[in-house]
Structure 1
């Protein structure tokens, strides 16, 4: 029997309680579900976080291998090696448009396991690529496979949670997701000790395999039978129309995409910033990368603690304005030192910006998904497609502008966050910080 106080608190927004018989605990953070029913709260967060972590490690642990890959395939322009990131993100974005409608019709489990099969197959192809072109093609396919984890993680969370509780779960999973970049470059560099960049892809293969086994054994189907939608063009068009015409969804989705652009611009430039192009840290590059990622992880933990008290809107709006202010300071510092400020100063300001960005992204994501309970899979799919391609495009513009200085990254942060603030201002009809529903 579910305690009455839990039922009263969650009956208005918990998807399982909307017209369904309650058969599971309503507060998995205070009541542990049985293994037969579904994973408990902590294991649920762990599985969803790993679904997201596959994406992160597939990007970041390859960074230390850039010089070796460039040497093996005779890549003269180091900026061209950034394509290994951006091509992957293009596949990652394009693949997401498919998985949402499929999961809304076939269920989350079948769709996720199929996407993992694509990811693992593409990883094997990458390991044996005879040319840089083949490697780029494998990375594109790898991105398509990894997209399933991104789409399904959001949809699965939305299946079970709503409102600020959903934001809390997303913040916790994002924290794990952001811890991975702290370790990924060091793991990639460790793989290089075996003598070949191929071992970096071996680590991706192992991680993807672990996820496939864990998910298939422990995660039941989360999509309620009453919410399955027919796999038809008409149903997809209706769900897509609802997604793109909902002001909060498209507005916060656009703001999220712009902030993703900041992250992608930095990640694509990181190896050149810290190692080959500017600060020449060599083997210390993974440590510098980990310090920056650590700031994001710490902020996400703080966000998960504050969001249920202060709300998604207040935290994200304050975070975005502060991010823009620090980005402008970063531009001034870059210009004052002619594009090459002291490493400690650059790292300090960059860490502050990365700390602040984590108050925006998980909350923008939750605010965008909040109205989409009836079409969570398709909405998550479209938002993933839209925000990833937007982020990859702006990130590539920043990365390809790398000129041996910190100016492109700093200017990119300032410009994109200013645009994001304008979009949020439009989304909220000029009223920032307001309370709105469960946000």
Structure 2
């Protein structure tokens, strides 16, 4: 990978776009595949009706391990080198998935995709923390999310077109090409933000002590667990979206339109958050979003029960649009709050926060998604229950946090 100093420093806007593209490897690996799940299920002879969900879940399992590996390494070797390794693993995973002829090989390829994509995801957070803190960090992450949201808006449609014109394997070729382009852009334009004098010696004892510091810091640990509960509900949606829209409601080729509309709600919330967070602070926004999410889910759970889990599609879309706006407020703020006290160990902290929350979401989200029974009751119940638990975690963490000025 070429390593050179850019002729002129990367601008704030270019860095936002670059980091959004780096983060989008994960989104593209998930969202572009959703319209293809039924085709993959038939081609690879998956017999379990909910088995296709593991094509999504296996990627998150790789992410969880990758987060934990690449974060500490970036504190010792610098930020850029480990990201190159991650890009390479991601591309190998793409190739393995392209040439897979069995469900098991597909899952290995998906796991490697997640393992590799974890590097640009977790280390980009460390790079951001190297340069920003507090509300400025939350604002930058919200802007990244705003640009990034174009991927889940467009990816399902791209996947749908590829299935119609070519086949599902072409989707993995698109992921591979994006990985190549992004890796070279990063190499040529992004400077190293952790110079050698600031790097830490890699040792198991240091990692253990750093993990202990994060786990015993009430703010970091509390908001890490909160992030896990929030993302668990989102993972339930990602795992069941294709079944709900195409199998249950029969939207067919219009699935990308519905999926993209909901992604736009997250993007709109992220853009709104980037403006409001500097005025209102992260805690106020998180508190409001959690209450709104829980209240909306409580009301719609009643609607779902009264319709035996088959409410009109238009009502489901209205509910999810408002719900996803709340999630867009939560995503950037909760992670920034978990990272706020850990600037001195940003790499390991980013790894631990991301790894714990991802493992938590994979376990909880998979258990809920596997209960899908042809109705939306598991989805809405999951959002409601996880919303209430998240509120409890928020208030316990906020009450016990040190009485520093609210970020």
Q: Which runs of 5+ in 1 are unaligned?
A: 1-33
Deviation (angstroms), 1:37: 5.6
The answer on 1:329 being equivalent to 2:299 is: yes
Deviation (angstroms), 1:157: 0.4
Q: Determine the C-alpha separation between the residues in 1 that align with 2:18 and 2:250.
A: 37
Match of residue 25 from structure 2? 54
Secondary structure of 2:46's counterpart equals coil
Equivalent positions of 1:223-234 (< 5 A) are 223-234=194-205
Equivalent positions of 1:76-225 (< 5 A) are 76-225=47-196
The answer on 1:311 being equivalent to 2:273 is: no
Deviation (angstroms), 1:435: 8.3
Scaled by the length of structure 2, the TM-score of the pair is 0.96
The answer on 1:289 being equivalent to 2:255 is: no
Deviation (angstroms), 1:394: 1.4
Secondary structure of 1:359's counterpart equals helix
Match of residue 389 from structure 1? 359
Match of 1:427 among 392, 397, 402: 397
Deviation (angstroms), 1:436: 4.4
Aligned length, in residue pairs: 403
Secondary structure of 2:193's counterpart equals coil
Match of 2:339 among 345, 348, 369: 369
Deviation (angstroms), 1:121: 1.1
Q: Determine the C-alpha separation between the residues in 1 that align with 2:171 and 2:8.
A: 37
CA offset digits 1:204-259 (Å, max 9, x no partner): 11111111110011011011434211011121112111111111100001001100
CA RMSD in angstroms comes to 1.5
CA offset digits 1:124-175 (Å, max 9, x no partner): 1110012111001111111100111111111010010011100000101112
Deviation (angstroms), 1:176: 2.1
Q: Which runs of 5+ in 2 are unaligned?
A: none
Whether the 8 Å CA contact 1:320–1:356 is kept in 2: the answer is yes
The answer on 1:437 being equivalent to 2:405 is: yes
The structure carrying a bigger helix percent of its residues is 2
Secondary structure of 1:80's counterpart equals coil
Secondary structure of 1:385's counterpart equals helix
Whether the 8 Å CA contact 1:317–1:360 is kept in 2: the answer is no
The answer on 1:249 being equivalent to 2:220 is: yes
- Report the CA distance shift for 1:121/1:424 in structure 2 as closer, same or farther (over 3 A): same
